[in-house]
Amino acid sequence: MSDFDIRSIPFGDSTTADDVVDTLGFFDDWEDRYKYIIDLGKELPPMPDEMHTESRIVRGCQSQVWLEIDYDADADCMYLAVDSDALIVRGLGAMVLAALNRKSPRAVMDFDMEGYFDKLDLLKHLSPTRGNGVRAMVERIRKEAAALA
């Protein structure tokens, strides 16, 4: 196995959902917003190829998406990692991590993801399949959180 450490991914501590909302609010057009989303994805460490397994694939996404979830019971903290073969989807994954990474299962379940996406004005600017993919990613994380709560 590689040196990939899911617990070292900074999203959720150094980049929060509020940061994403504030930064996207600075941009006047969606071309600039898409560039920012792609840049967020570039900040994520790529998962090693050996982690691109069938069990980690998120179904419902237009692109290949892999999701890893780890839980520290002592800290009551979920650690998330996401990877994709599409830059925009990696960025969308980073936005999800900004909201849900390094949170307790209860906090993950309580987070208003639809409200977050509404603040970003995001889903109406994505293709239906991309929007479904983001929702599938969130749903998988929430199911794991519910099992842990």
Q: Would you call 77 a catalytic residue per the annotation?
A: no
Q: Are 82 and 55 in contact (CB under 8 A)?
A: no
Residue type, 26: F
Spatial distance between the Cα atoms of 47 and 49, rounded to a whole number of angstroms: 6
Q: Does an H or E element contain 40, and which?
A: helix 30-43
Residue whose token pair is 């379940």? 109
Spatial distance between the Cα atoms of 3 and 129, rounded to a whole number of angstroms: 33
Spatial distance between the Cα atoms of 70 and 46, rounded to a whole number of angstroms: 16
| Given the residues 40, 58, 61, 94, the one annotated as active site | 61
* β 77-84/65-72 pair status: antiparallel
Spatial distance between the Cα atoms of 98 and 46, rounded to a whole number of angstroms: 16
Q: What positions carry a catalytic annotation?
A: 61
